[in-house]
Each structure stands twice: as structure tokens, then as C-alpha cells.
A and B are shown apart, each in its own frame.
Chain A
């Protein structure tokens, strides 16, 4: 697969990543991402038919614990670190598009 990354590709990925990008960044990332993906062509080209993927280096098992209450982090301490909070909750800008 030819790794040609267009400025439009970069803008669309930036939207997915919730990252505002400048025109200069779009140009730069298009070149730099293509270079890294080009380097990855050796991996793309490998025959891995029948090879299972490794998601994790250890054989993982589900870990269960007894369902007993235990102390969590302190809510006041957490909210004190938030950019904005109100009535014991995180406060955020308007989410829905209707007029205020």
C-alpha cells in the first residue's frame, strides 16, 4: 500500500483525535507521518499468515476481587483539581447546540 498522506487525510485524523491543527502542522505531519509509515513497510510486507497477534506480553486472565466496599479517592480533592466544578460535579461548556 503506498503511504501517501494528503493534507485532507491529516485534517480528518486530527478531527478524530480532537486536535486543532494549523496549516503548517498539516503540511509537516503529512510529510512526517508518511516517513514513519514508509519505514513500517517492512512490517507490512511480512508474511504473518497464521501468526496470532500479541495484544499483551503476558498470558492474561480476568482478575476478580471480593465485592466489598473500600475507600476510593477523595471527591473534594479530585474536584479541587478540575478546571471548573459545580455542585460536586465537573462543569463543562455547553454540549447541545441550542441557543442559550
Chain B
């Protein structure tokens, strides 16, 4: 399967047509999608049309974008004008947004070919894609296991070869954890690096859009295309997109990398072993690697499960049956609200709305939400202290490899623990990414997480590139 970098180059130079490329990927989708269910919607006709447009421009000698002819899958919480956008929820049934997300517009200008909208845990709330109203996505590497979540459809689409690139969103690990479970690369950029305009909100102070790909260089390319200031998002950082492609092969010689002690505790031994091996190969490549304590990260999970539901309960109040989606028949408006929301939301979304409403209610606001926000400050301070001595940090992406369907559905707290290593970066607003590095005892991929300070994407991609090179070399030798 070709990388996005290779496809874009071949299409630009006329070596291959975008039409051939898209047919090849639609063929894979036709063959395996009925089993995997990565997509809520496959955009075959639109993809063929977009590919034909790219080919026409190449033939006419016009300039084409950096992703010319590259198939790409969009998580189904990104607004696409005139095309259904569901968040895998019944409450948005039949809704077509009246505008495109900024990332969708930028990708279209860059010549990307959208092949479909991918499945997710309803409103991005979950870690396994089992919370989708349309049924789960299966892990392409072992269909008895979950692909992770919430961006499980996007991770599975890349892992199955349906598209070399996909976009997801990451509020507490929803890009990185499924990337780890499916053996692909997944990136959560610095908060504010990528415009959230047109991303349907879950927890606004934590949400960030980011890439999935099979290689580190492809994620660097995709992030270069989607990042950069957008006046339509008031939290967008007023800076141009960073330059990342050179960083992937720049090596780690002289870098100081810290292995986070607290995030190696309570981790499956085989996963922890891979992370220590990753530290060793970075050390062999010239980095100075040491263990470091980032003590407040142990409070991340608790703080997150107060902050994220609180923000979600507020953001999801807009689904009231008035302006879009589902409406239950009722004689008065309060009953209409209550019955629409009862019929439209699934159990996990209801649980989080309840938790968030409770945490924000009179008498509890300061003890829960206020306290969690102060703990958020403590976590950021501990990261800042670590970054005085280190350029980047390392941890597992998730405590386990991909688990079996149903393994954690009865116990919400057990499911939440799947995000224990990824949540601290969202709370701090820092970038972090997952890179596949070997396998666990069960043969499933292990993801190593590379963390960097705010706007530290360049150093993060240097470390990720070195890890990928070492992991590839190890596979070749085996």
C-alpha cells in the first residue's frame, strides 16, 4: 500500500492518475468494509468525481495541491456541507450541515479525495467505538477486538488500507489510543494548532483535530496542510502551520528525552517492556534518555472525568429537537426536549450529560469542576517543570493492547482507564502522538506515546521519526 507522500508525488508528475488510485482504494473498501464497518458513509461517487477533477487539472498543466489525489477518510463529527454528519448518534439522524469544517475546506483545496465519513463512539465519547448508534467498528488486525476509540473508524480505515490518511478528533486520547490499537500513527496537535471550526463540539477546552496515517511522514504532511490560523475559530493560534517534514528524518542526536515514571505504573508488562525498548533505541540513536517524574499526571483521569462531562453537558444542550435532527412528538415544549433527548442519545452520552450536569450544579460546582480546573493547573506546572530538563517525553499510549468486544462495556470506569496515559496532554493543551512500536504478548500492536511542550511539534516528529525508523529496522531483521 502506497503512502500519501508517494501518491501525491506520482499524481502530480502524471506517473499515476488519481482515478486509478481512488479505484484501488474503493476496491479495498468494497472487499473488506462489510466486515470492518469503518464507515458510516462511503462517498464513492464523490470520490471518483474529485479524482477526475484532479486528473483534469494535472492534464491541463495546472498546479495541484500537496495532497493531490490522496484518498482520505473524515471522522463523522466533521461537518461536510450537504453530506450527512451524524456523530454516530440517532439525534443527528438525517442532518446535513450547511457549511464545511475549515479542515475539510483546506483538504479539498490541497486536492485530497474524500472516500467516506468514519464511525466513532457517539459524540466521540468512548474508547472502543462500541458506543456508536450504528454498531461497532472491528479492528482490521483481529476482528474479535475493538479498534479503540473514539476515532476507531478512522484508525481502522488506515489500518485496513481503505485510505492512506484519515482525520480524527482527540479530547482525551481519541486519536492516539485507536492509532495504538490498530498499529498506525495518530497525532493530537497542540490545542489551537488546528482550527476546530466545523468540528462538532464535545469538550471545547480539550478537543483537537489531528491526523492518522501509516507512516510518520504522512502525518507530518497532513498536519502541515490542516494546521495554521483560522479566523473562524477564536481559539486558533495566530501562527502559520509548522514545517514538519524535515523533522521526521532529522534524528534525535543530542535530544533529552524523559520517560514518565507515573505512566509506567499499572501498565501491562508487555506494553511497558516495549516502551522501555523504545527508550533504549532512542538512546542508541544519540538521545539522552532518563526517567522523570511528572507527579500530577496521576490525577489526570479524575480531573478529566469532571471537566469533559461538564463541558459536554453544556455543549450537548443544543440537541433539543428544535433546529436539526430528531424530534419526538409531544404536546408541550419541555416534554418535547426531554423525550427527544431520551430517544436520541445513547447510554454513554446520557451518563456523561448526567455526570456533567451534576458536577456543575449548585453546591457542587467548586468541589468538582472548580477543583478539577485547579488540578489541571497542577498538571501543566509539572509538565513545564519536566520540560525545563527535557525536550520531549515518552510513555505508553494505552495501558493495554486492543481488548475484546464487551470486555469493558459493563464498567464505565474500566473503560475510562484506557485513556489514563493520553488525558494529561489534553488537560495541558500539549501535542502528543502515538507511534507503533512492536507487539504485545497477544501479537497486537503496541503504541509508544511521544509528548512535547506546547507548539513542540517539530521535536515530537523528530522523536517519532526515529522510533519509526528503529521499529522498521527491527521488523526487517525479524
Contact residues of A with B, CB < 8 Å?
1, 5, 9-10, 13-14, 16-21, 25, 29, 32-33, 35-37, 39-44, 46, 48, 51-58, 60, 63, 65, 73-74, 77-78, 81-84, 90, 92-95, 97
List of 5 A-B pairs having minimum Cβ-Cβ separation, nearest first: A57-B429, A53-B373, A83-B327, A20-B342, A48-B374
Q: A18-B320, A40-B302 are in contact. Are A60 and B336 (CB under 8 A)?
A: no
* Interface footprint category on B: 35 or more
Q: Which of A18, A29, A40, A48 contacts B334 (CB 8 A)?
A: A18
CA distance A84 to B412 in the complex (A): 37
Contacts of A36 in B (CB 8 A): 305, 355, 412-413, 416
Q: Which residues of the partner chain A approach B435 to less than 8 Å between Cβ atoms?
A: none
Query: How far is A84 from B320 in the complex, measured between Cα atoms in Å?
Result: 13
Query: Which of A25, A33, A44, A55 is B358 in contact with, Cβ under 8 Å?
Result: A33
27 residue pairs of the A-B complex, CB under 8 angstroms, read A5-B358, A13-B358, A17-B313, A17-B353, A17-B357, A18-B338, A18-B341, A19-B345, A21-B350, A32-B412, A35-B412, A36-B412, A36-B413, A39-B302, A40-B306, A42-B298, A52-B377, A53-B374, A53-B376, A55-B373, A56-B235, A57-B205, A57-B380, A58-B454, A83-B327, A92-B322, A92-B336
The answer to whether residues A19 and B354 also contact, given A35-B412, A35-B413, A94-B331 and a CB cut-off of 8 A, is: yes
Question: Does B370 reach chain A (CB closer than 8 Å)?
Answer: yes
Give CA–CA (A92, B299) in the complex, Å. Answer: 44
Chain A residues contacting B313 (CB-CB under 8 Å) are 17
Interface positions of B from 92 to 121, Cβ below 8 Å from A: 94-96, 98-99
Q: Which of A14, A53, A54, A84 has the most CB of B within 10 A?
A: A54
Could you tell me the distance in whole angstroms from the C-beta of B333 to the nearest C-beta in chain A? 5
Chain A residues with Cβ below 8 Å from B367 are 1, 44
Query: How far is A55 from B341 in the complex, measured between Cα atoms in Å?
Result: 28
Number of A-B contacts defined by CB within 8 Å: 168
Alpha-carbon gap, A33 to B412, bound state (A):
10
> For residue B192, which residues in chain A have a CB less than 8 angstroms away from its CB?
57-58
- Determine if B350 and A93 form an interchain contact, defined as CB atoms under 8 angstroms apart: no
Q: B59 within 8 Å of A by Cβ?
A: no
**B:356-390 near A, CB below 8 Å:** 357-358, 361, 367-368, 370-378, 380
Q: Does B134 contact A (CB under 8 A)?
A: no
Q: How far is the CB of A15 from chain B (nearest CB, A)?
A: 8
Q: Is B376 within 8 A of A29, CB to CB? A: no
Q: How far is the CA of A14 from the CA of B355 in the complex (A)?
A: 10
A5 to chain B, nearest CB (A): 8
Give chain B residues whose Cβ lies under 8 Å from the Cβ of A97.
Answer: 332
Given known pairs A20-B341, A81-B95, the reply for A54 and B377 (CB within 8 Å) is yes
Q: Return chain A residues, CB-CB under 8 Å to B427.
A: 54, 57
> With A and B bound together, what is the CA distance between A25 and B342 in angstroms?
11
Contact, CB under 8 Å: B378 / A51 = yes
Q: Which residues on A sit within 8 Å (CB–CB) of B231?
A: 63, 65
The complex places the Cα of A64 from the Cα of B373 at a distance, in Å, of 27
Residues of A near B338 (CB, < 8 A) are 18-20
Of the residues B324, B413, B429, contact of A81 by C-beta under 8 Å = B324
- Report Cα–Cα, A98/B338, bound state, in Å: 20
Q: Tell me, in angstroms, the Cα distance from A70 to B330 when the chains sit together.
A: 38
How far is it, in angstroms, between the C-alpha of A16 and the C-alpha of B322 when the chains are bound? 18
* CB nearest neighbor in A for B306: A40
| B342 near A74: Cβ-Cβ < 8 Å | no
What B residues does A93 contact at CB under 8 A?
330-333, 335-336
Rounded to whole angstroms, the CA-CA distance of A94 and B371 in the bound complex is: 41
B475 at interface by CB-CB < 8 Å: no
Beta-carbon contact of B376 and A58 below 8 Å = no
The listed residue with most A CB atoms (<10 A of its CB), out of B231, B302, B338, B376, is B302
Shortest Cβ distance from A48 into B: residue: B374
CA distance A52 to B376 in the complex (A): 9
User: Do B332 and A46 have beta carbons less than 8 Å apart?
Assistant: no
How long is the Cα–Cα vector from A62 to B454 in the complex, in angstroms?
A: 20
Q: Report Cα–Cα, A82/B334, bound state, in Å.
A: 18
Given pairs A33-B351, A44-B371, 6 additional interface contacts (CB within 8 A): A17-B353, A18-B341, A54-B376, A57-B192, A78-B323, A82-B322
Instruction: Give B319's nearest chain A residue, CB to CB.
Output: A18
Q: Are B341 and A63 in contact (CB under 8 A)?
A: no
Whether B413 pairs with A74 at a CB distance below 8 angstroms is no
Residues A18 and B371 in contact, CB atoms below 8 Å apart: no
B326 at the interface (CB under 8 A from A): yes
With a CB–CB cut-off of 8 A, which chain A residues contact B430?
Answer: 57
Count chain B CB atoms within 10 A of each CB in A20, A39, A78 and give the residue with the most: A20
Q: Are A90 and B322 in contact (CB under 8 A)?
A: yes
Distance in angstroms from A37 CB to nearest chain B CB is 8
The residues of A that contact B351 with a CB separation of less than 8 Å are 29, 32-33
